[in-house]
Amino acid sequence: MFKGTEKVVQAGFVVRNLDEAVERWFCKGAGPFQAFRDIDIPLFYRMEESSVRLNLALGQFDGVQIELIEPLGPGPSLFAECYPNGYPDEALHHWGMIADDYDAFVEAHAAEGRPLVMNGEFSGYRFGFVDTRNSLGFMLEAFEKTPSLLDFFQKIEALGKTWDGQNPYGETL
């Protein structure tokens, strides 16, 4: 655990094909997945205004949210930076944690040489990736602890608890 955060709540994977990755995780017992296709998220990448277009799926596996990210289109992004030779079939990209104090989390990591490299706001909460590749081998994503974030994570978790395991995709939130 990292100071100022709760437990790891998410494991994020960059994938080449979202549906194939969902199927792989479904076969391991993960699900149900909520898919969000061709979404464009405005954000800051290396302190410059940008956006990232992607397909995304969120599901549950043994108490941890699994995020599958299929980047779409060209352009600079943290995903392209991490995989300059092309996207893998599947690779761990980040651990996600809820920060009790988002700003303090970001500042503490920056002070220790782990800068904020991509950040934005989505559905009423801030998120940011700090570069921990040199020390951990992957990124850390911090989520600002807000009622909307906690509600969203609880909905995904609840779907996993009531899921019958028959279909990799669940009802749409």
Q: For residue 76, what are the CA distances in angstroms to 21, 46, 52, 106?
A: 23, 10, 8, 22
Q: What's the structural domain count of the chain?
A: 1
Residue, of 43 and 4, whose pLDDT is higher:
43
Assess if residue 168 is contained within a domain.
Answer: no
- pLDDT at residue 86, as a whole number: 84
Q: What are phi and psi of 153, to 5 degrees?
A: -65, -40
* CATH number of the domain enclosing 44: 3.10.180.10
Assess if residue 28 is contained within a domain.
Answer: yes
Assess if residue 97 is contained within a domain.
Answer: yes
Nearest to 153 by CA among 165, 140, 166, 144: 144
What are the tens digits of pLDDT across the range 105-152? 999 999 999 999 999 998 889 999 999 999 999 999 999 999 999 999
- pLDDT at residue 73, as a whole number: 79
Assess if residue 173 is contained within a domain.
Answer: no
For residue 160, pLDDT over 50 is answered with: yes
- Average pLDDT (14-36) is 97
Assess if residue 149 is contained within a domain.
Answer: yes
Assess if residue 84 is contained within a domain.
Answer: yes
Assess if residue 172 is contained within a domain.
Answer: no
What are the tens digits of pLDDT across the range 59-101? 999 999 999 999 997 778 899 888 888 888 999 999 999 998 9
Q: Which domain holds residue 111?
A: 5-160
- pLDDT at residue 1, as a whole number: 41
- pLDDT at residue 5, as a whole number: 62
